[in-house]
Amino acid sequence: MHITADRDRCVGAGQCVLAAPAVFDQDDDGLVAPMTFDPAEGEQDNVRQAVNVCPSSAIWIDKE
Amino acid sequence: MTDMLDTDLPSFPMARECPMHPPAEYKEIRQEAPVSRVRMPDGQLAWLVTGHELSRQVLADPRMSSDRTHPAFPLALTTEQRKAFQQNSRLSIRRSMIGLDAPEHGPHRKMLISEFSVRRIAALRPRVQEIVDRCVDDLLAAPQPADLVEHVSLAVPSLVICELLGVPYEQRHGFHEWTRKLISRRTAPEERRASADKLNDFLEALVTEKEQGEPTDDVIGRLIARNRENPVMTHDEIVGTAILLLIAGHETTANMISLGTVALLENPGQKAQVVADPSLLPAAIEEMLRYFSIVESATSRVATDDIEVGGVTIRKDEGVIISGLAADWDDSVFENPDQLDFHRGARHHVAFGYGIHQCLGQNLARMELEIVFETLFRKAPNLRLAVPAADLPYKDDASIYGIYSVPVNF
């Protein structure tokens, strides 16, 4: 799996951090800052949930 | 629906039969037409969206405007009340991010995002715990029956948001009363205008003081400093932002504490589970947020173009109410939505809205709720309602649902 995050679209709700805390973080501006763009297999369900709950479609899966 | 005469349209807002459940009509309306017409108290027609996916679609659509000064923006107010709100040129809250559209909205929100990140909020946890301990101790020292709302539900989020924003807590009686009047549909137009003016004057004075003095180490002080380095907001917009953060920071969480406590007391089996294992609380709180979805009023919009939604065309300049409560009881998405199920594991509710306006303070709210429920039931294991849950004074008249007082024994 490979993911992309768009900081311009991010509104800093923090939903991705709650859904997949091992993959997503927020930087000092509060905007999305993935810790990896290639989440491990055990994290992929959480990543799908993070993508589903992001309110501004700022993260997505490029490659399953 | 299309054959219906205008006079046959359902009125909005709709009454509840059970205080813990949405109006029963939502389910029928969703099954018949998840995007349908309703009549507002001022006589205007608006669209009501009751399906979950359609709600997210509308709230994410950049052609839907949040401009509360638009004549068709659905406000659950009479014509006179609407005038008192929309024609009050002093009410700076209209110039806060909740009423702004892209591209104006983003820079305003970005001025505050760092203050409410998951990490920043987590760092506040020890201080919030101290505040909650003090409030729960106050409740337990009060003569019984004591009011949970006064001692805990309203006190905790008010203390927290005052400290965060740099607003003197001693002034709470003023802003509590003005907020109550502003969100109640029973408030007469003149009183509504007066309450709005007082809230505006209060925060106008506070922001001016912070602008003129030494920089203060609080959210408003830091916002002013940030805005000096990189000007985004006018003085009026900072005042509006302060009003928004103060109202949103206390009233919403207060109501969730009251409703959540009643829900736990009425569901002793589920309560026993979270008391025995507080690590279940975050999931329980997501479910409470879904179940009550207390803020229906923030998610209205007005179309800036003709927009197809769920097979109907919403015309430019028509108002749309997106009911988060109806969406979060959509049984095609949440099975048996009337069951409060702490093991549901559903995070995709729209209790905090959806799209670019989704609640900025949601992680603060989650943390306050978690600490309150954990502390309350640990310190007061025999907590119980002093009156039947059905007899509590629910906020049927308010644009943010909740309970006015919750008498408890312990």
Domains of chain B and CATH, by start: 24-409 (1.10.630.10)
- Where chain A has pLDDT below 50, the residues are none
Cβ–Cβ below 8 Å for A30 and B362: no
Q: Nearest to residue B166, comparing CAs of B241, B232, B234?
A: B241
Residues of B in contact with A53 (CB under 8 A): 347-348
**Residue-wise pLDDT tens digits, B33-64:** 999 999 999 999 999 999 999 999 999 999 99
Chain A nearest CA to B117, separation (Å): 5
The per-residue pLDDT for range B69-91, each reduced to its tens digit, is 899 999 988 898 888 878 776 66
Given an 8 Å threshold on Cβ–Cβ distance, is B60 in contact with A55?
Answer: yes
Give the chain B residue nearest A29 (alpha carbons).
B114
Distance CA A25, CA B246 (A): 27
Reported in sequence order, the residue ranges of B53-195 that DSSP labels E, i.e. its strands, are 64-65, 146-147
Measured between beta carbons, the chain B residues lying within 8 angstroms of A26 are 117-119
List the single residue in A with minimal CA-CA distance to B56: A55
- How far is B245 from chain A, CA to nearest CA, in Å? 15
How far is C-alpha B345 from the chain's CA centre? 22
Reply yes or no on whether the pLDDT at B2 is more than 90: no
Percent of chain B whose predicted confidence (pLDDT) is above 90 = 88
CB B377 within 8 A of CB B275: yes
CB contacts, 8 Å: B348 with chain A: 49, 52-53
Any B CB within 8 A of A56 CB? yes
**Minimal CA separation from A38 to chain B, in Å:** 22
For residue B389, CA distances in Å to A36, B242, B264, B399, B410 come to 48, 35, 11, 21, 16
pLDDT at site B3:
47
B335: Cβ contacts below 8 Å, ≥ 6 apart: none
Contact list, B354 vs chain A (CB under 8 Å)? 55
Distance CA B243, CA B266 (A): 35
Whether the link from the prior residue into A34 is cis, omega within 30° of 0, is: no
* Residue A52 forms contact with B (CB below 8 Å): yes
Q: Does B394 score more than 50 pLDDT?
A: yes
Count CB atoms within 10 A of the CB of residue B274: 22
CA distance B134 to B359: 27
CB contact under 8 A, A12 and B358: no
pTM above 0.80, yes or no: yes
pLDDT tens figures, B144-189: 999 999 999 999 999 999 999 999 999 999 999 999 998 899 999 8
Residue of B101, B104, B117, B119 to mutate for A, most A C-beta atoms under 10 A: B117
Nearest to B386 by CA among B262, B263, B288, B255: B262
Rounded to a whole number of angstroms, the distance from the CA of A29 to the nearest CA of chain B is 5
A38 contact B CB<8A: no
Contacts 24+ apart (CB under 8 A), B244-248: B244/B93, B244/B96, B244/B97, B244/B98, B245/B112, B245/B161, B245/B165, B245/B219, B245/B220, B245/B361, B246/B161, B246/B165, B246/B167, B246/B175, B246/B203, B247/B93, B247/B175, B247/B179, B247/B182, B247/B199, B248/B359, B248/B360, B248/B361
What ipTM, to 2 d.p.? 0.97
A33 touching B (Cβ < 8 Å):
no
pLDDT, tens digit, 9 for 90 and up, residues B293-318: 999 878 999 999 999 999 999 999 99
* Length of chain A counted residue by residue: 64
Q: Average pLDDT, stretch B216-221? A: 97
Distance from C-alpha of B247 to C-alpha of B295, rounded to nearest angstrom: 12
Residue B327 clears pLDDT 70, i.e. is over it: yes
Do the chains contact at B352 and A19, CB–CB below 8 Å?
Answer: no
Give helix B219-229 / helix B235-266 axis angle, nearest 10°: 150
B268: its two tokens? 């002793």
Residues of chain A in contact with residue B113, where contact means CB-CB under 8 angstroms, are 11-12, 29-31
> Who's near B77: CB < 8 A, 6+ residues apart?
B41, B42, B85, B185
Query: Closest partner residue to B347 among A30, A53, A57, by Cβ?
Result: A53
pLDDT on residue B215: 87
For A18, the closest of B109, B113, B118 (CB atoms) is B118
Segment B193-218 mean pLDDT: 94
pLDDT value at residue B6: 62
Average pLDDT, chain B: 94
Task: List phi, psi (to 5°) of B48.
Answer: -115, 120
Give the C-alpha separation, B150 to B129, whole Å: 18
- What is the four-CA torsion angle of B159, B164, B170, B175, rounded to 10 degrees? -90
To 10 degrees, what angle do helices B235-266 and B155-165 make? Answer: 150
Which amino acid makes up residue B255?
N
Domain A2-59 grouped into CATH 3.40.640.10 = no
Fill in the DSSP letter of residue A43.
G
Residues A14, B118: C-beta atoms closer than 8 Å: yes
User: Residue B1: pLDDT band by 50, 70, 90 thresholds?
Assistant: very low
